[in-house]
Structure 1
């Protein structure tokens, strides 16, 4: 399973690099190229990794605290 995930990441990275090369040809402003290429790479890495649980775990402590605070107000 890990190999498949790694393969997906590498494939999306290769696509992103191709996109970045195209951007460099079409854009002249170096800052714009950097911003766009960073965005493309972030998207590629984000799409390559399917870990919705990491987003949940990042949010859950805050949600738990909110629930605890609400409960304490009612008692």
Structure 2
């Protein structure tokens, strides 16, 4: 199964996404370079950075997201 991982926000989000990608690879998932070839799309975002927060609102309004907080 292929997973596309998109990251918005700060350097901490980038680091978290790298950790997630590593864990997914260990579990047998493939990382997709293009979201169109993915079976699963993961968005790792931030609510502090303005641009990322605006994107979060757009995704939520479209009903595409559920949230998990650390």
TM over 0.5: no
Larger Cα-atom Rg: 1
Q: TM-score, normalised by structure 1?
A: 0.36
Greater strand proportion:
2
Structure number with the bigger relative contact order (C-alpha 8 A, sep ≥ 6) is: 2
